[in-house]
Structure 1
Amino acid sequence: MADEQIEVLVVGAGQAGIAMSEHLTAAGVEHLVLERDRVAERWRSWRWDSLVANGPAWHDRFPGMEFTVDPDAFASKEQVADYLAAYAQKFDAPIRTGIEVHSVRKNDGRPGFHVETSTGTIDARYLVSATGAFQKPIIPPVVPADAGLHQIHSSGYHNPQQLPDGNVLIVGAGSSGVQIADELRRSGREVYLAVGPHDRPPRSYRGRDFCWWLGVLGKWDMAAPPVGAEHVTIAVSGAHGGHTVDFRALAADGITLLGRAEGVDGDVMRFADDLRTNIAAGDANYLSMLDEADEYIARNGLDLPEEPDARILGADPACMTDPVRELDLSAAGITSIVWATGFANDYDWLQVDAFDENGKPRHQRGVSSEPGVYFLGLPWLSRRGSSFIWGVWHDAKYLADQIAIQRSYQAYDAPALAAH
């Protein structure tokens, strides 16, 4: 027999687990949240020291509590973590920290799941995986581990002083890669940045932040990324008060832009001939959003200041017009590589029939193919906004409703049929 029984077990006490707990608490559903580290630990230890949220405080928050910073400011990572911890305390979320879930298996011959943890066993009727998307850092097998270079994932980068002396190559130009490249360049390092396909929205336009524009234009509610853009990253920054990412400006500041990293032979690294294509596609994405914003303003008769300079793109730097296809890392003085190349899922602990042949969760808006199992905190779980604090709150509300529906079925006691 299990050491403990609970109706709903939530695994993970980040923004997803806290949101789930709030809705279950409001519905009066007995539940428990397990977290192997501290509440919101990923915000504290899996981010670099100077990181700030990519959305302004008025927008990127739970509906029930505001940040204690200026609404238009971008909260630091510690402020976000403290906010999430305070939010959990606000409704006395039943969170236990320092407990790791080792395995979850479906019970045999009875409903629910048997959960093995670092402190004992639990039987749960329903299981919510709220571990999110940032589980297993991906470092592509491009540069051998014994190549004599200091290689880390962006989740392990904290500040420039952490890296050995020398120049730095950063692979990946989404929000993390761009911000880390800028920070290292400002610290005096020579920086090389490999740029892949990306979207490049304006940080703000005509007096409104891009989060506002995505809202009024209905883009937060997109149910799936456009075909062919499933692996396109978003280059946007809240650093230094928030600014539009401009790769030409980064090059003007001394960062050498490169195409996608392809492989290495000895000390020589090869890059694809796609830098100009990737930046042009990012420019097109940027300009199309300005077009949509202008159209929305005109259609709705809004009095927002014009911003013609926003459409001026600077001259292409030499690294774009004469791209570097091969780089001798040793000759370039590169001693470190930061891989800003994203994350993979890690569901080895969840041993149920809820995954496809590639190990990805099978679900519809978080309701998995394994009855009683739910996923929360994944990108595009229900819409584009699912990765954000406010978005995961709404996804959690939906899942809490689905659990309530299932509980009502389980509570139904059919009358005995009369014998005929």
Structure 2
Amino acid sequence: MSVEKIDTLVVGAGQAGIALSEHLAHQGVPFVVLEKSRIAEAWRTSRWDGLVTNGPVWHDRFPNLEFRGNAPDEFVGKDRVAAYIEEYARMVDAPVRTGVEVLQAVPLKGRAGFRVDTSEGVIEATRIVAATGAFQHPVIPPIVPQDAGVTQIHSAAYRNPDQLAEGAVMVVGAGSSGAQIADELNRAGRRVFLSVGPHDRPPRRYRGRDFVWWLGVLGLWDMAAQAPGTEHVTISVSGAYGGRTMDFRRLASEGVTLLGRTEGFDDGVLSFADDARKNVDAGDANYAQMLDAADAYAQAMGLDLPPDPDARATWPDPACLTDPIRALDLAAEGITTIIWATGYKQDFSWLKVDAFDDNGAPIHQRGVSREPGLYFLGLPWQSRRGSTFLWGVWHDAKFVADQIAIQRAYADYDGEAAVVPTAAE
């Protein structure tokens, strides 16, 4: 069997792999990108029908290509994003092979590189970049047994309200996905319960600027790490319906029942922590903190931005916060579906290397692994807060490509270039 040899093998043709393609080509690195499905597959098949981007397209894009045909402040749908990534792949002439699955990668013995077994044969690569993204395998906590008499799906499998059986819906998770799905179901006339955990809640727009602009000028996109104690705090923001601030008290006023974190299940009854009010209040405090920071910045910079006193108006406390529900009988409430918007886990089991911590997370510095020749791209907080966004992963990809080019230069050094003859010679 013939073995193909390549300098750098990129695994994954989502936004990370396509961004890296541009930078590797610029550095003159020979490479190929393998994708087991299609380019931008996660955007096509792991998002619900009504999803739109959480940021306007003037901001959430690769630097070298605009969303042609879309207004700058538009929030575009998932299919438009997939088409955009495909367009970018064509623009940079990314060498993508679709329908090829990487089965395992093992370091070569006694020399640099890896043996990579794929569904179409063996490749020897001097370097590997795992660009498989931040959202690989949906996680459903083992709280409700599968035989509990209620349909359970992850938010990755949710498509639209008509997909679900008749009846009320329990949504677990108040990040952007959970909050948006709960809002969509409520607007569709479903009775909705929403389990709310810790979250940040930025304003959609303030003083005439989208929150992505405020995060930029305030330097918050470039935060290198989450503040201690906030590692499990998600962000709740939405571009749906033209872009509105996600306010849980408003959702409650529109009919959504808010609950604390889902804790347990026994004999048909879900139980919840007594923290719904605490979590909503903390989200409100985060919201107010950003307004304060924006006001201070506008004043310090002398910006002529219109004041926005309505942004500080508050909705009244709903009964589900003043008299919290600690237990819910699913059958009595007519709940037929639970949607778990509870995140994802990464799976790098195909990489047979000692480069991970006890939880299976990569050990790296800005994507550079401790395993020689191995790199990661598209990880949450890989270098900064914005690492999982289109523009953020583009900058991370440039750094990784630069590091690969540096290592190639070291490998080309023959041991003589820096030897300077003495005067006597």
User: What TM-score comes out, normalization by structure 2 length?
Assistant: 0.97
Q: Return 5+ residue gaps in structure 2 as ranges.
A: none
Cross-structure match for 2:344: 343
Q: Return 5+ residue gaps in structure 1 as ranges.
A: none
Answering whether residue 368 of structure 2 is matched by residue 356 of structure 1, we say: no
Q: Which amino acid aligns with 1:235?
A: S
Cross-structure match for 2:57: 57
In the aligned structure 1, how far is the partner of 2:416 from the partner of 2:336?
Answer: 74
Answering whether residue 308 of structure 2 is matched by residue 307 of structure 1, we say: yes
In the aligned structure 2, how far is the partner of 1:355 from the partner of 1:2?
Answer: 31
Q: Which amino acid aligns with 1:319?
A: C
Q: Which amino acid aligns with 1:404?
A: A
Cross-structure match for 1:41: 41
Partner SS for 1:292: helix
1:93-121 CA distance string (max 9 Å, x none): 10000111000110011110010001101
1:142-185 CA distance string (max 9 Å, x none): 00011111100000101111111111000000000001001111
In the aligned structure 1, how far is the partner of 2:415 from the partner of 2:296?
Answer: 58
CA contact under 8 A between 1:12 and 1:129: conserved in structure 2?
A: yes
Answering whether residue 293 of structure 2 is matched by residue 292 of structure 1, we say: yes
In the aligned structure 2, how far is the partner of 1:312 from the partner of 1:91?
Answer: 47
Partner SS for 2:241: helix
Cα RMSD of the aligned pairs, angstroms, is 1.2
Cross-structure match for 1:395: 396
Moved more, 348-357 or 197-206: 348-357
Cross-structure match for 2:95: 94
Cross-structure match for 1:114: 115
Partner SS for 2:115: strand
In the aligned structure 2, how far is the partner of 1:243 from the partner of 1:5?
Answer: 51
Partner SS for 2:221: helix
1:56-110 CA distance string (max 9 Å, x none): 0000000010002101001110000000000000121100001110001100111
Q: Which amino acid aligns with 1:204?
A: R
Correspondence 1:13-412 to 2 at 5 A: 13-68=13-68, 69-412=70-413
In the aligned structure 2, how far is the partner of 1:161 from the partner of 1:9?
Answer: 42
Moved more, 235-244 or 351-360: 351-360
In the aligned structure 1, how far is the partner of 2:355 from the partner of 2:373?
Answer: 10
Pairwise CA distance, 1:415: 3.9
Q: Which amino acid aligns with 2:181?
A: I
In the aligned structure 2, how far is the partner of 1:90 from the partner of 1:352?
Answer: 34
Pairwise CA distance, 1:2: 5.4
Moved more, 292-301 or 1-10: 1-10
1:222-277 CA distance string (max 9 Å, x none): 00011000010100000001110010110011110000000011111100000000
Pairwise CA distance, 1:3: 2.2
Q: How many pairs are equivalent?
A: 418
Q: Which amino acid aligns with 1:30?
A: P
In the aligned structure 1, how far is the partner of 2:138 from the partner of 2:60?
Answer: 24
CA contact under 8 A between 1:192 and 1:257: conserved in structure 2?
A: yes
**Identity of counterpart residues, as a percentage?**
65
Q: Which amino acid aligns with 2:23?
A: H
Partner SS for 1:222: coil
User: What TM-score comes out, normalization by structure 1 length?
Assistant: 0.98
In the aligned structure 1, how far is the partner of 2:152 from the partner of 2:416?
Answer: 66
In the aligned structure 2, how far is the partner of 1:218 from the partner of 1:28?
Answer: 33
